[in-house]
Amino acid sequence: MTDPAIFVADQLSFAYPGHGPSLAGVSFAVAAGERVALLGANGSGKSTLLHLLDGLYFPDAGTLTAFGEALTEARVETPPFGPRFRASVGFLFQNSDAQLFCATVEEELAFAPLQLRWPREEIRRRTDDVLALLHILRLRGRAPQTLSTGEKKRVALAALLMTAPSVLLLDEPTAGLDPRSQALLLEMLDELHASGVTLITATHDLALLPHLADRALVLSEEHTLVADAPVDDVLHDVDLLLRVNLIHVHAHRHGDVVHVHPHQHVVAHEHGHGDGDGHPHEG
Ligand SMILES: Nc1ncnc2c1ncn2[C@@H]1O[C@H](COP(=O)(O)OP(=O)(O)OP(=O)(O)O)[C@@H](O)[C@H]1O
Ligand SMILES: [Mg+2]
């Protein structure tokens, strides 16, 4: 690998205090400019892993480096690494309510730049650009708490984009979005990827997977990493998808004959984001 590693995780383990493991011996590396999916069933550890990558939680065992430096609690809190890391990595939470806390959308977008002591005029200009980019100029004066789920998601992403992070951690970014908003978000992510931003996206949406990532890290329900492979290979590995409960076997009876076949969301469209329930595509 010639690209510099953004993250290197070596045998990461993590448990919430008083609970069993949420991640058990997970190892992988992510290079600059990659589009990687964290794939796994509910509770497999995707969100937990994103919190570790964002330096919000720290491993109980194993090591994690970011931009070639150990990502420890002490370092994340100390300049120059800490502020540089925070400015470089943006985390779109699964629940937007957890990251929107200002009185208006405009203040939400200004928050991080003000911490970084940007001049007011520059903040205003960048706010105009980012709101226009995400088609939410009309939301500028609104209270984030009063917005719809999809609107909140866009505002949260807009706030992250203000400081032009080079890495985005996205936790189920398409969940709860209508088809048009999903398409818009995917276009945005494509553009960010094309401009060199590294994307790490947690999802269990197999239909959107090829639009979100080129490579998938698959977590089992035992919180171990069971695959690290191109998205296309993972989508064709029915045994793996069954084993980690991302598809389920559907049994039904025709007369005396019981048919058993896996169900999943089909990946079929070049541009569409249809999610008809169907069978794994063959190719
Ligand atoms: N705050 C917490 N305290 C205790 N256990 C937690 C906490 N948050 C998550 N867990 C547990 O850690 C494991 C991993 O949870 P996590 O939220 O990372 O899963 P996930 O893959 O993101 O799931 P989902 O698809 O539902 O978002 C689960 O067993 C969950 O119950
Ligand atoms: Mg989650």
Predicted confidence band of residue 20 (pLDDT cuts 50, 70, 90):
very high
Give the number of other Cβ atoms within 10 Å of residue 18's Cβ.
5
Q: Which residue has the higher pLDDT, 247 or 250?
A: 247
Q: Ligand 1, atom 6: nearest CA belongs to which residue?
A: 16
Q: Is the pLDDT of residue 251 over 90?
A: no
With cut-offs at 50, 70 and 90, classify the pLDDT of residue 1: very low
pLDDT at position 262: 66
Is-contact 144 113, C-beta < 8 A?
no
Write down the CATH number for the domain with range 5-278: 3.40.50.300
> Which ligand 1 atom sits nearest the alpha carbon of residue 45?
18
CA dihedral 159, 162, 163, 168 (to 10 degrees): 60
What's the 115 CA to ligand 1 centre distance in angstroms? 31
Give the residue, 99 or 249, on which the prediction is more confident.
Answer: 99
| Average pLDDT for 158-163 | 96
Give the pLDDT band of residue 142 (cuts 50, 70, 90): very high
Output the pLDDT for position 174.
94
Examine the pLDDT at 99 and tell me if it is beyond 70. yes
pLDDT at 281 (0 to 100): 40
Q: Looking at the predicted structure, is the pLDDT value of residue 23 above 50?
A: yes
Q: Which residue has the higher pLDDT, 2 or 174?
A: 174
* Average pLDDT, integer, range 109-128: 95
Which atom of ligand 1 is found nearest the CA of 202?
22
Identity at 205, one-letter amino acid code = D
Residue-averaged pLDDT of the chain: 90
Which atom belonging to ligand 1 lies closest to the Cα atom of 94? 27
Strand order in 277-278's β-sheet?
A: 248-254, 257-265, 277-278
Q: Of all protein residues, whose CA lies closest to atom 30 belonging to ligand 1?
A: 43
Residue 278 has pLDDT above 70, yes or no: no
Ligand 2 centre to CA of 167 (Å) is 19
Q: What's the average model confidence in pLDDT over 138-148?
A: 97
pLDDT of residue 110: 97
User: How many angstroms separate the CA atoms of 138 and 55, rounded?
Assistant: 34
Give the number of the atom of ligand 1 that is nearest the alpha carbon of residue 38: 21
Rg from Cα positions in the chain:
20
> Which ligand approaches the C-alpha of residue 40 most closely?
1
CA distance 38 to 49: 9
What pLDDT sits at residue 264?
Answer: 55
- Percentage of the chain modeled with pLDDT above 70: 88
164 HSE (CA, 13 A, CB side) = 5
Name the residue at shortest CA distance from atom 29 of ligand 1: 43
Residues with Cβ within 6 A of ligand 1?
16, 19, 22, 40, 42-48, 94, 204
Give me the mean pLDDT over the 209-231 stretch: 98
Percent with pLDDT over 90 in the chain: 83
Q: Which atom of ligand 1 is nearest to the CA of 44?
A: 21
| pLDDT of 270 | 42
Testing ligand 1's pocket by substitution, the residue of 42, 47, 54 carrying the most ligand atoms inside 8 A of its CB is: 47
Alpha helices in 170-249 (DSSP H): 179-194, 209-212, 231-236, 238-243
From 14-18, 142-146, 275-279, the region with the lowest mean pLDDT: 275-279
| pLDDT score at 249 | 77
Distance 47 CA to ligand 2 centre (A): 4
